[in-house]
């Protein structure tokens, strides 16, 4: 686990930023004229609570045009129909990229495969045991990561209009960036308002206080116990879905030195995900409540040699704090109590830690 810890971190970072980009954003970096994006759109109407579905085609001065075709070739040949909806009939607009669910599922599955192999290799003592460990530990991890990826792919950007002209014009740029036809008005838009980027991904460093069986002497070597405070680092991803509710995922590694020997230490890795509720204290300060569920891996090293290893289910009861000091950046801090029920050398152990962390996150979407 110690030598492979950086691989899941890299995979998650790539997954995070690939989900955050729109196709038109990527192409805009390579060409002065961005490739038109096809974004599935749901427009809730004020009248009779009806929802119109289609593709966000064009943003007019005081209305929205939606198309009924998802095929890109139809737009090249002109084989499509549009429907115009004035701003005063619109309650809200929700937008999602055409292939976002498939992309999220694929990324989640790929991440799960990498994490499952890492966990199985750490939990197995030989190649013969690797397949069994993959089935036991890998199946739930792959399923969890795939499900989270698919769930992230279903997330929609929600833009409230409420039949109000000021609201409509205030979100005009956001709508333009996601419409198929992009004709930006070069004039001054006095209603334009700053958009708060709510998705975030960042690094966090933490101090860890071990407890549970971590602090009890090992039965075969009584002097081998963990009494020292540990530390580590990891990454965290937050995806608001609706209201004050969302989903979060994290990966942490912590190291504990065994006082009886300078060569011996424990490493614990946590692969966790779960819901989170966030409370705005004001526009810049946010409190997060996030119970995390997943798999915890533990290994004991003697120099470069792995002496013991094991894995099992874990729960991290965590509270976080975010401070948005810039449009795209925020400072993070959190405190949590992690509990893991692991099997190490055919013995069940309850390992727990209390964690205090701080870090920096990039805000997107």
What are the residues whose beta carbons fall under 8 Å from the beta carbon of 30, sequence distance 6 or more?
none
> Quick count: other Cβ atoms within 10 Å of Cβ 133?
20
Q: pLDDT category, 289, cuts 50, 70, 90?
A: very high
User: Are 205 and 174 within one domain?
Assistant: no
Residues 6+ away with beta carbon under 8 Å from 187: none
Q: Are residues 290 and 225 in the same domain?
A: yes
Domain stops at, among 136, 167, 195: 195
Instruction: Say what the pLDDT of residue 155 is.
Output: 76
The H or E element that residue 320 is part of is strand 305-323
Question: What's the N-to-C CA distance of the chain in angstroms?
Answer: 33
The pLDDT, as a whole number, for residue 10 is: 45
Would you state the pLDDT for residue 36? 66
**Are residues 31 and 15 both part of a single domain?**
yes
Rg (CA), the chain: 24
More confident call, 84 vs 30 = 84
* DSSP designation for 259: T
pTM across the whole model: 0.57
Q: State the residue range of the domain holding 227.
A: 196-364
Number of C-beta neighbours around residue 325 at 10 A: 10
Residue 355 confidence (pLDDT): 92
Q: Please give the distance of CA 64 from its chain centroid, rounded to a whole number.
A: 31
Residue 124 has pLDDT above 90, yes or no: no
Q: What is the CATH number of the domain that holds 225?
A: 2.40.160.20
Q: Are residues 108 and 74 in the same domain?
A: yes
Q: With a cut of 50, say whether residue 33 has pLDDT above it.
A: no
pLDDT at residue number 13: 45
Q: What is the pLDDT of residue 264?
A: 81
pLDDT over 60 (residue 48): yes
């Amino acid at each position: 686990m110690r030598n492979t810890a950086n691989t899941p971190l890299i995979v998650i970072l790539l997954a995070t930023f690939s989900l955050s980009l729109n196709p038109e954003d990527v192409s805009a970096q390579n060409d002065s004229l961005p490739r038109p994006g096809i974004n599935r759109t749901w427009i809730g109407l004020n009248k009779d609570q009806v929802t119109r579905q289609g593709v966000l085609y064009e943003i007019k001065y005081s209305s929205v045009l939606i198309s009924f075709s998802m095929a890109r070739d139809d737009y090249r040949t002109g084989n499509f129909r549009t429907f115009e909806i004035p701003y005063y009939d619109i309650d809200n607009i929700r937008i999602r990229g055409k292939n976002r669910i498939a992309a999220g599922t694929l990324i989640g599955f790929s991440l799960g495969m990498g994490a499952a192999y890492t966990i199985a290799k750490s939990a197995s003592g030989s190649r013969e045991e690797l397949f069994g460990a993959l089935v036991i530990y890998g199946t739930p991890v792959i399923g969890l990561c795939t499900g989270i990826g698919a769930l992230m792919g279903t997330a929609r950007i929600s833009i409230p209009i409420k039949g109000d002209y000021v609201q409509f014009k205030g979100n005009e740029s956001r709508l333009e960036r996601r419409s198929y036809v992009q004709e930006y008005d070069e004039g001054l838009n006095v209603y334009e308002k700053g958009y708060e980027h709510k998705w975030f991904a960042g690094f966090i460093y933490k101090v860890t206080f071990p407890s549970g069986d971590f602090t009890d002497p090992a039965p075969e070597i009584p002097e081998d116990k963990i009494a020292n405070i540990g530390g580590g680092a990891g990454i965290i991803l937050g995806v608001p879905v609706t209201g004050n509710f969302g989903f979060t995922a994290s990966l942490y590694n912590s190291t504990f030195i065994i006082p009886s020997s300078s060569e011996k230490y424990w490493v614990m890795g946590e692969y966790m995900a779960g819901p989170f509720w966030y409370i705005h204290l004001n526009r810049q300060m946010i409190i997060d409540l996030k119970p995390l569920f997943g798999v915890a891996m533990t290994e004991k090293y003697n120099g470069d040699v792995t002496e013991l290893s094991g894995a099992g289910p874990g729960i991290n009861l965590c509270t976080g704090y975010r401070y948005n000091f810039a449009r795209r950046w925020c400072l993070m801090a959190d405190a949590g109590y992690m509990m893991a029920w692991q099997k190490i050398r055919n013995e069940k152990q309850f390992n727990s830690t209390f964690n205090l962390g701080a870090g920096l996150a990039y805000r997107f979407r």
